[in-house]
Every structure is written in C-alpha cells, then in structure tokens.
C-alpha cells in the first residue's frame, strides 16, 4: 500500500529532513582516526533528542544504536562499537529520526583521515549514482527508471550494485511501500506521481555485488569496501525535492 503525501505532510517531512541533514553534518565533522563509532552514536542521540526528535533506528527490530556505523566491507547495519576508527578506513553512517510523527532517513560514507584513491572514487561514484537516480524521479516515469539509472551508472564504471538491500517509501513509517531497488529495468515498476516520498539509497561495492552475513550483518562477499549514500526525496509539484540535503 503506497501512501501519497499531501503538501502539508511534505512540509512536515521537510522539517524532519532538515534536522537529519544537520545531524549528519554534525557527525561527519567528528569522524576521525581514534574516535569510536559508539561515541559517534552518542553524539547522534544527543543531537536528535536536543532537536525534539526521536531516533528511529534505536530499538527498531532490536537494533542497538541511533546510527548504523558500517566500516569498510560492512555494507549496512553495522553496530556502533568501542572499536576506534583507523586512518584509511571508510565509515558509512546511516541515521533516521522522527520529528512530530514524520520520518527522515539518510546515509553518508565518510573518509577516516587519508584514504586511498580507489576508496575515494567509490564514495564519489556512490553519491553521483544517487543523483543519476533522482534525475528520473519525475511524474509520469516509472520506478524502474530510477533503479536502472543507478545501476548503469555504477556498473558501467566497474562497481558492484548490492541486491540484498534496497531503498523504500517513507512517511509516518520508516519503511513503506514501494521497495526501491538500485537495479532494474527502465519503463517497469509503479508509475511515479506527486506525493511519493522515497528513501533512495545506492549501496555500491569495489568488487562483487554479492553480500553475506546472518542477522543484522551485511558484508561484501569478497571483503572489498562498500559505500552507501541515501536521502529522503519527495516528488512535489515542482519535481523531486531532496529533503535531507
Ligand atoms: Mg537509512
Ligand atoms: Mg533507508
């Protein structure tokens, strides 16, 4: 069941999105060698609560953190821990919050100190592929147009597109219909219309697209690094509007 949002409802989601955007900027500034992801998680919790919001991940299906903190080959859903970040690693921070009943969900992959050229390129291509997808988030198009754009942008450059995790609709619930895969066919899937709000979130790897793991764990099968870039995006009368940027 897809819930289209009214202009008023999107206005609420714009506010939730703005808080999350600023929270992620606040966290990104604090990513450096020697910091534990547990500490970043505490920063996120404090930030969200201070802005009259609620962390949406904490306790979701038993998840133990305010953020997902996924280092290097961990694709998504990494648990915050006492382990300290090391120079050269990449950290994906995924965070969600609820403000006055409306959800926002977004993720960034951040360099820990100096990183290799290939990790830098992975982060860049992942972010760029999101914007390629958003170009196709327009009334009259099909959901598959977004998926296809993300997939071809990444695969044509030799990167892997994760299949086991996908984006989603978002609103009063964090995960609503429809599912938004980062792979698919143009001209297929539901028709895109005003009022749709989606979390579009490419998860891209330096090697194989295959992942492994049980429970929460999602790591690349070949141990190569993965990056994640996500925003909550609304389709309004003026076109696609990124609410968490
Ligand atoms: Mg997310
Ligand atoms: Mg999401």
C-alpha 230: how far from chain center: 3
Residue 190 half-sphere exposure toward CB, CA atoms < 13 A:
16
> Any idea which architecture 7-242 has in CATH?
Alpha-Beta Complex (3.90)
CA 231 – ligand 2 centroid, Å? 8
CA 64 – ligand 2 centroid, Å? 17
Ligand number with the minimum distance to the CA of 92: 1
Residue 16, judged by CB atoms within 10 A of its CB (0-12, 13-18, 19+), counts as buried
CA 165 – ligand 2 centroid, Å? 9
CA 105 – ligand 2 centroid, Å? 5
Q: Which of 51, 46, 68, 41 is nearest to 15 (CA)?
A: 51
d(CA 31, CA 39): 10
CA 135 – ligand 2 centroid, Å? 19
**pTM listed for this prediction:** 0.98
CA 65 – ligand 1 centroid, Å? 13
CA 102 – ligand 2 centroid, Å? 14
CA 232 – ligand 1 centroid, Å? 9
* Domain chopping of the chain, boundaries: 7-242
- Asked if residue 217 has pLDDT above 90, the reply is no
The pLDDT of residue 214:
84
Query: What pLDDT digit, counting tens, does each position of 72-95 carry?
Result: 999 999 999 999 999 999 999 999
Query: What pLDDT digit, counting tens, does each position of 176-196 carry?
Result: 999 999 999 999 999 999 999
């Amino acid at each position: 069941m897809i819930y289209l949002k009214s202009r008023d409802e999107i206005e609420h989601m714009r506010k939730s999105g703005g808080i999350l955007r600023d929270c992620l900027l606040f966290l990104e500034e604090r990513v450096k060698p020697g910091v534990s992801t547990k500490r970043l998680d505490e920063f996120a919790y404090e930030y969200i609560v201070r802005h009259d919001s609620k962390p949406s991940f904490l306790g979701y299906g038993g998840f133990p953190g305010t953020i997902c903190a996924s280092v290097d080959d961990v694709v998504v859903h990494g648990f915050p821990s006492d382990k300290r970040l090391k120079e050269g690693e990449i950290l994906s921070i995924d965070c969600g919050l609820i403000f006055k009943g409306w959800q926002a969900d977004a993720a960034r992959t951040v360099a820990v100190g100096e990183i290799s050229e290939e990790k830098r390129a992975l982060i860049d291509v992942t972010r760029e592929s999101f914007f390629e997808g958003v170009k196709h988030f327009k009334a009259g198009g099909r959901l598959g147009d977004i998926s296809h754009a993300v997939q071809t942008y990444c695969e044509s450059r030799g990167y892997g597109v994760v299949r086991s995790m996908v984006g989603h609709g978002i609103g009063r619930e964090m995960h609503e219909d429809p599912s938004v895969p980062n792979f698919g066919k143009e001209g297929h899937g539901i028709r895109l219309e005003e009022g749709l709000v989606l979390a579009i979130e490419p998860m891209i790897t330096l090697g194989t697209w295959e992942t492994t793991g049980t429970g929460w764990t999602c790591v690349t099968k070949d141990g190569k690094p993965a990056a994640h870039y996500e925003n909550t995006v609304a389709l309004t009368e003026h076109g696609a509007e990124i609410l968490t940027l």
